[in-house]
Copies of this chain bind each other. A is one copy, B any other.
Amino acid sequence: MRIGDMAAAAGLTTKTLRYYEDRGLLPAADRTANGYRDYVPETVNRLEFIRRGRTAGLTLDQIGSILAVRDIGQAPCIHVRELLGKQLSDLDARIAELTGLRATVAAVSEAAAAGDPASCDPGRICSYL
């Protein structure tokens, strides 16, 4: 399969496939006589795995580390569990941070909605913020 076919099969662009190869997520593809990349159909599994990882919010580096474990013939289960656990706690931290920020902004925003523009002190630039 040429890169365009593989990209279509995986729902990606050819650019992205070359990028994944550069990043080490895909092994260097075989080449046809004219230099075109020649993929085995199974590569779509690898691309779908990458997509599932991205859906879980993992970075390409994290996904690459899972693939690297698999590529040396080991089951990456433990590593995957660790990454998912870390991802969960990261998400909780980010959500908590944003929720706190939301509360701050909501308070300021309400004060701004209720305030009187005439009372604005130019020295403070904006009395609301």
Once bound together, how far apart are the Cα atoms of A78 and B128, in whole Å?
A: 10
User: Chain A interface mostly helix, strand, loop or mixed?
Assistant: helix
Chain A residues 37-58 with CB under 8 Å of chain B are 42, 45-46, 49, 52-53, 55-57
Residues of A within 8 A of B (CB): 42, 45-46, 49, 52-53, 55-57, 66-67, 70, 75-78, 80-81, 84-85, 87-88, 91-92, 94-95, 98-99, 101-102, 104-106, 108-109, 112-113, 115, 117, 120, 122-129
11 contacts between A and B (CB under 8 A): A42-B123, A45-B123, A46-B125, A70-B126, A75-B120, A77-B128, A78-B117, A84-B128, A85-B109, A91-B101, A92-B102
